[in-house]
């Protein structure tokens, strides 16, 4: 069942979303040569604590991993697609890209967002990967209108990514969000005809998150049972926003 949110609930989700945005802005600016991914983690966790928010990821149990995620951030570098774990040993260098994904619970409602940022000088191919992935998210957001269907959102990502020569991760998808981090429906970044195709209605909120590979779409999970990487070692990018369907069109809750 897809849970529709009232205007008052959307305002609470907006406050959570703006906190996530502020955290991502801060740590993205820190993602420079010589900085470790653990440095980003420390700052993000303090910002959550100071705001009276609970981390959405830290302590989140995933049966496939068999454990709770131990950090407030996912920091995925280069060929790491999602769920990379911050480490003092992972020091960023010029040419890297780092996907930073985080979420919070504030007043009982969740916000969730991600961004991929370049470190130092990156290649033109990497710049294109980041640009196309972010553009695909914006195109999907544009489809978040009452009366459209879920597949309109999914296909907006798929068309833009594939037409630019990149591939879409199949194993990981976006999701509904509200009083739980993950709610119905699942939001693939491609049209999966095996899924239902519900009509979008006011009050629905989706976390749309294109995960795009420069090479082939296949991924694998490392021995830490969390970090997903591209099988062919190609770079991956990840952008995410929480978006509400309103009478006035799409409302991105995780940016000002």
- Annotated binding-site residues for a divalent metal cation read 101, 112, 175, 209, 240
Q: Please enumerate, by residue number, every residue annotated as part of a binding site.
A: 83, 101, 112, 175, 182, 209, 240
Are residues 147 and 200 in contact, defined by beta-carbon separation less than 8 angstroms? Answer: yes
Q: What is the C-alpha separation between 43 and 30, in angstroms, rounded? A: 9
Distances (CA, A) of 256 to 54, 75, 80, 227, 249: 21, 23, 28, 30, 16
- CB neighbour class for 42 (10 Å; exposed up to 12, middle 13-18, buried from 19): middle
Are 181 and 197 contacting, i.e. CB atoms less than 8 angstroms apart?
A: no
Measured CA to CA, the distance from residue 243 to residue 118 in angstroms comes to 25
Residue positions forming the annotated binding site for substrate? 83, 182
């Amino acid at each position: 069942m897809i849970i529709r949110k009232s205007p008052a609930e959307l305002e609470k989700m907006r406050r959570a979303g703006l906190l996530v945005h502020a955290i991502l802005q801060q740590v993205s600016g820190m993602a420079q040569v010589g900085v470790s991914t653990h440095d980003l983690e420390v700052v993000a966790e303090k910002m959550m604590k100071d705001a009276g928010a609970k981390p959405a990821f830290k302590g989140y149990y995933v049966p496939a991993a068999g454990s709770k995620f131990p950090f407030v951030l996912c920091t995925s570098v280069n060929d790491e697609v999602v769920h990379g774990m911050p480490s003092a040993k992972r020091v960023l260098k010029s040419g890297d890209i780092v996907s930073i994904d985080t979420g919070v619970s504030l007043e009982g409602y969740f916000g969730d967002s991600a961004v991929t940022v370049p470190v130092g000088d990156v290649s033109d191919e990497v710049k294109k990967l980041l640009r196309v992935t972010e553009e695909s998210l914006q195109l999907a957001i544009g489809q978040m209108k009452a009366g459209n269907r879920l597949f309109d959102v999914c296909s907006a990502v798929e068309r833009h990514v594939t037409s630019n020569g990149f591939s879409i991760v199949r194993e990981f998808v976006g999701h509904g969000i509200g009083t739980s981090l993950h709610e119905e429906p699942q939001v693939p970044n491609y049209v999966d005809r095996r899924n239902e195709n519900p009509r979008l209605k006011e009050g629905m909120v989706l976390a749309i998150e294109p995960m795009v590979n420069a090479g082939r779409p296949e991924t694998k999970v490392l021995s830490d049972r969390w970090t997903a990487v591209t099988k062919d070692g190609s770079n991956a990018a990840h952008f995410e926003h929480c978006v509400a369907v309103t009478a006035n069109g799409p409302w991105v809750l995780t940016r000002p």
